[in-house]
Structure 1
Amino acid sequence: MNGYKDKKDLAFEYHINSQKIGDILPYDKRMQYKIYPSAKKIMLDKFCKKNKFEKSEFIKILLSRKSIRTWENTGINLEKLSKLLRYSFGNRDNEFEDIQFRTYASAGARYPIEVYVLILNSENLVNGIFHYNVYDNSLELIKKGNFKKEVDDLYKNQPFEVNCPCVIFFSMIFERTMEKYGDRGYRFILLDAGHMSQNLYLVSEFLGLGVVELGASSVNDEVIDNLIGLNSEEENTFLAFFVGNVD
């Protein structure tokens, strides 16, 4: 197979064939790590709450980061959501005239991932599906309506009640990265998602919001694409986050 189109088709084929998750093994509490028993060791500093460095706000947030699966029965307000999106995924100050960098790393600054926000309960936003417009830092209303039943059906495979006020979806546009890096570009898109996910967790922790990442729904990803209104041959959802207020 030669050429960009063939490489894109190969990545797209893998993407399509992994859209629906199969049986999941029970959670294994054993720690997973690797050691070299015969290697010489250099011991590193351990965590110490009395250490001045570890009392810094950033380190506190880093060590507090965790997945949250229960939320207050309250709506998310626009002020917190605005900060969450802006600092997790938004543009930084324009450092160079011809390049606009964002708050996360992206291979070749291609930024192949789009962000969609589904509002289920908000103090000052209508229920519906929005697109986060990074260019002018705005929310664009795509569909107005109550999609609680659809979200419940999508994630009925989860062992907890879906009572969050907000769902964030990531979608990938293959071409942005793969036209530059070829078939390796598909891996780079997934790396981008990791950078963005960690940002979302840390900013949520700072804002007093709880978030949990969901790598798969109970159905094929194309069901979510259709809900949002995406052309699945050009753009596919592949990751979701439940977000809400916590005590």
Structure 2
Amino acid sequence: MTEASPSLAQLYHQRTKYFPDALPTGTLNWAEQPEVYKTYPLGSRFELQGYLGVGARETDQWWQRLSQFLFHSYGLTAKFTSSTGDVVYLRSAPSAGALYPAEIYLISRGTSQLPAGLYNYQVKTHSLVRFWDDHPWQRLQEACFWHPALEHTHLAVVTSVVFQRSAWRYQARAYRRVCLDTGHLLGNIELAASLCDYRPHLIGGFVDDAINDLLYLNPAEEGAIAVLALADLLKVEQNLSRGCTVLPSDGQLSDEQMMSAETVPEDEQLLGALHQVSRITPQPDKSLEQAQLAQPTQYPSSQYGFPFGNNASTTVASIVWGDGLEFLTKAMLHRRSTRRYRGASISLDSLRQLLDFTYHPENYSEQGFDAQPDYFDLSLIQTFIVVLGVNNLDTGCYYYDPVANTLRQVRFKHFRRELHHLCLGQNLGRDASVAIIHTANLEKAIERHCDRAYRYLHMDAGHLGQRLNLAATRLALGVSGIAGFFDDQVNDVLGIPEDEAVLYITTIGVP
């Protein structure tokens, strides 16, 4: 890869940065906001609301598990009245601006409870609509290069994104947000599965056009972005080993294509161009790569030679989630994006527990969690923590090493004023106790996964962010993710090169 010919993902990232003197302008026309619920005028309905209560009959347990799984993944959990007088419903997974670009589809191979076909999860009514009643499983397997997780499972989840729901407000930068929002959803799916005796097997390597065609999606408006084989852990043949979660997209653009890509205006066309170029098309050797790339998740080592800084251990007693993960259920129902912090300090043990739950799921297997949940490629993501108010920990910027389980102080300064500025003047940045920042070497990621890496990175960052969300909620702390920031100024605060991509900021503090 030459500096003169960057990938479209690199071009997109540069073109969608926020700068203090060049923020997007214009006012929103609320009358033009896209609908956040997808509807089907035809199809069979499967009502799930009646299975949310406890004490279901034994014959209803299959339906109860599926109902609970979908509800805790993406169900409606609260409502409020907006400044315009509209009623807005909030969901268990957070979304930038409460725009909820993600859709959930369920594909059934055919079970005694759920006939073979294609289903959409109707969030508003907590129901499934069967909009196609053919047998789609073989087409799904072909589109996923015969992924082994689909061989013995009978249900699969596909998440898609409706681009305009977010682009209406966030313009070209919306692609970052829809991928982060999908990451939140994937984090909820992973944890909700632990509640319901499922194990989702993440598949990022699939033929985009084939999955879109299978689900009858208009790719100009909506695109599949993740596939998950949903293993039923109560059936022994579905207790599967971990498999490959990623495949690279088809490669870089030619010089001729790059010249035309550079003329794409900074609007929704740039978003669509990146999604288009990061597709995978049918290739006969991809199935061989599937087996070769199967490997456990590995955390990164620091790619920077930090010259100084004290190390602080993050070893701590794990968060207790209660019998039957009762406190996880409560956290998923009660989680909200905090709007204001008090500016007070949190305990060092609270910070340690947040990191422990997010980065060390193996410590929670005895409580009923998956010890090795699937991500796309965590080895690409670096974690920095800006400490503003943590008892017994100096203020400054820290690098977090999840393998050594240590925090290393790399900058000695109080960054409250800088964090307030780089978070676009939001008081969340000023008043938080800590800001956990995920970054990645974009060039290295693209060398490994081509332009599709941009999806993988942001979805993984959102997944980590959702674990932080729920851990903070369990600890009675406030938490709010920030995807709008002055990119280069964040790099300045962290002391890392400008070509390191900042993916996501999660602020945590006393609400």
Which range moves more in the overlay, 18-27 or 134-143?
Answer: 18-27
Higher RCO (CA < 8 A, seq sep 6+): 1
User: How many equivalent residue pairs?
Assistant: 233
> Which of 331, 336, 339 is 1:69 aligned to?
339
Residues in 2 aligned to 1:26 and 1:161: alpha-carbon distance in whole angstroms? 28
- What is the one-letter code of the residue matched to 2:43? A
> Which of 182, 186, 197 is 2:465 aligned to?
197
- What is the one-letter code of the residue matched to 2:374? A
Residues in 1 aligned to 2:428 and 2:348: alpha-carbon distance in whole angstroms? 26
Q: 1:72 to 1:223 in 2, by over 3 A?
A: closer
> Which of 221, 239, 246 is 2:504 aligned to?
239
After TM superposition, list the pairs within 5 Å mapping 1:13-162 onto structure 2.
Answer: 13-20=11-18, 22-23=24-25, 25=28, 32-46=36-50, 48=52, 51=54, 56-90=326-360, 92=362, 105-107=374-376, 109-158=377-426, 162=430
User: Which runs of 5 or more residues in structure 2 are unaligned?
Assistant: 56-63, 69-323
Q: 1:26 to 1:47 in 2, by over 3 A?
A: farther
Residues in 2 aligned to 1:110 and 1:155: alpha-carbon distance in whole angstroms? 25
Residues in 1 aligned to 2:498 and 2:422: alpha-carbon distance in whole angstroms? 17
TM-score of the aligned structures, taking structure 2 as reference length:
0.41
- What is the one-letter code of the residue matched to 2:334? S
Conserved? CA contact 1:132–1:138, under 8 Å:
yes
Question: 1:167-226 CA deviation, whole Å, 9 max, x = no partner?
Answer: 111112224543332221221111111211111111111122111111112x3x011101
Q: 1:74 to 1:152 in 2, by over 3 A?
A: same
Q: Percent identity?
A: 23
**SS of match in other structure, 1:197:** helix
Residues in 2 aligned to 1:90 and 1:209: alpha-carbon distance in whole angstroms? 20
**How far has the Cα of 1:135 moved from its partner?**
1.5
Conserved? CA contact 1:61–1:205, under 8 Å:
yes
Question: 1:39-87 CA deviation, whole Å, 9 max, x = no partner?
Answer: 2211113575x52688932211111111012234421221110110121
Residues in 1 aligned to 2:29 and 2:336: alpha-carbon distance in whole angstroms? 20
CA RMSD across the alignment: 3.2
- What is the one-letter code of the residue matched to 1:51? V
After TM superposition, list the pairs within 5 Å mapping 1:165-176 onto structure 2.
Answer: 165-176=433-444
- What is the one-letter code of the residue matched to 2:501? N
> Which of 217, 230, 243 is 2:496 aligned to?
230
Conserved? CA contact 1:89–1:103, under 8 Å:
no
**SS of match in other structure, 2:502:** strand
**SS of match in other structure, 1:85:** helix
- What is the one-letter code of the residue matched to 2:416? K
Conserved? CA contact 1:216–1:238, under 8 Å:
no
Residues in 2 aligned to 1:213 and 1:104: alpha-carbon distance in whole angstroms? 22
TM-score of the aligned structures, taking structure 1 as reference length:
0.81
Residues in 1 aligned to 2:348 and 2:29: alpha-carbon distance in whole angstroms? 38
Partner residue, 1:216: 484
**SS of match in other structure, 2:44:** coil
Larger Rg: 2
